[in-house]
Amino acid sequence: MGDMTTDENAVSAGTDRSVGDVCIDVLVIGAGQAGLGTGYWLGKEPGLSFLLVDGAEGVGDSWRRRWDSLQLFTPRRFSSLPGTPMPQGRSEYANKDEIGDYLTAFAAGQGLPVRLGTRVLHVDQDSSGGFIAETTTGSIRARYVVIASGPYSAPFIPAAADGLDPSVVQLHSSAYERPGDLPESHVLVVGAGNSAAQLAVELAASRPVTVAAPGGMWFLPSRLLGLSLYWWLWITRILNGRSGSRVSRTVRARGDGIIGKELLTLVATGRMRIIKERVCSANGNEVELSDGTHVRTEAVLWCTGYQPDYSWLRVSKALDEGGHPIHDNGRSAVPGLHWVGLPWQTRLNSGIIDGVDRDARRAVCRVKAAHARRGDAAASSNRPLRNPKVPDRPTR
């Protein structure tokens, strides 16, 4: 790693648009909540230089890009990163812009070195056991890489979509912003999760809606005895339950519960229909379901989730055959590679803001320990470190 120029500006605190090659200890890919939480703990380690990179133009943009009416389902108390509580607001639940602004303010307040507009094109291992990342703004060599690029990278749309006539308007939930994006005629919402439920309720205010939720939906009250569901999950220790615990395994096997009962009310009053069959194929304006019945529609909103896309990670043994991360509580089998922000990474709340602090701290502890071992090994063999130019920590 010693043959690359160390560019101190590129690791100075604050969001920047520097272009150029750098050599650092830790590269964090993604500056969403998982990356920022990791940056928070890295900032407490004076012996480690680090840089966060993000392909987006602004910190918090992954939240701002979501639909207009999106309000968090976690109360503010459970929507905070370490060291900076989410500010109080009009509602107990922040909206998507508030959380976007909170993350922007967090990065600035913590003085984190974030390089925006920097998409990682590929990451390879180098011959010295570290990593080299090619990005849209230059190469970055790093001893350790933390991947915090989010679990929602590649929207998934079933192949059935191809059979629909071009006159049928189709959108994935990641592209939906507001009801006006779809015609004011019948909409088929496909999906059994919270996105499907929320958007079906929103659309039902202005048009007929059918929800195709394979296997059906199950519902949880958003409040119980005056307290948010999340308080109960916290009090009962389910929220922090280890991924492997019996309770967590039961919750996981059951699939996402729909928080709130607005959709149920619409179904009960005949203003919406839920179908429990899977969408199998489509032809023209008709969608065929697994029981052989058909639904005629003018628009389809696919709330069918995401697939992993780590095609840029060219490190063997990092991913399984399905492209999912291979890890043990966030630690990859590849030395020096770590993950933060994966759903169920260590606990039930790993994939939401509330779980970032613990998982990020753990990743940084591991990096720090590995770095110390490297330092000890270098000292005992009386050889200089291979990259003596690396700055101790970003300039603040």
Ligand X SMILES: Cc1cc2nc3c(=O)[nH]c(=O)nc-3n(C[C@H](O)[C@H](O)[C@H](O)COP(=O)(O)OP(=O)(O)OC[C@H]3O[C@@H](n4cnc5c(N)ncnc54)[C@H](O)[C@@H]3O)c2cc1C
**Which of positions 322-351 make contact with ligand X (CB under 6 A)?**
341, 351
DSSP 256: P
CA atoms within 13 A on the CB side of 150: 19
Residues 62 and 48 sit within 8 Å (Cβ to Cβ): no
Residues 11, 23, 53, 334: which binds ligand X (CB under 6 A)?
53
80 CB-near residues (< 8 Å, 6+ apart): 86, 353, 354
**Which of positions 190-249 make contact with ligand X (CB under 6 A)?**
195
Q: Does 187 bind ligand X (CB under 6 A)?
A: no
Closest approach of ligand X to the CB of residue 174, in Å: 8
Query: Which of 280, 276, 158, 295 minimizes the C-alpha distance to 214?
Result: 276
**Sign of the CA dihedral 178, 182, 188, 190?**
negative
Phi, psi of 3 (to 5 degrees): -95, 10
Closest approach of ligand X to the CB of residue 325, in Å: 12
Residues 33, 80, 137, 304: which binds ligand X (CB under 6 A)?
33
Residues 78 and 354 sit within 8 Å (Cβ to Cβ): yes
The residue nearest ligand X at its CB is: 32
Residues 25, 54, 357, 359: which binds ligand X (CB under 6 A)?
54
Residues 230 and 222 sit within 8 Å (Cβ to Cβ): no
Q: Does 62 bind ligand X (CB under 6 A)?
A: yes
Q: Does 353 bind ligand X (CB under 6 A)?
A: yes
94/287 with CB nearer ligand X: 94
Closest approach of ligand X to the CB of residue 212, in Å: 19
- How many residues touch ligand X under the rule CB under 6 A: the total is 32
Q: Does 312 bind ligand X (CB under 6 A)?
A: yes
In angstroms, rounded to a whole number, what is the distance separating the alpha carbons of residues 258 and 265?
13
Instruction: Name the residues that contact ligand X, by CB under 6 A.
Output: 29-35, 53-56, 62-63, 66, 72-74, 79, 119-120, 148-150, 152-153, 195, 312, 341, 351-354
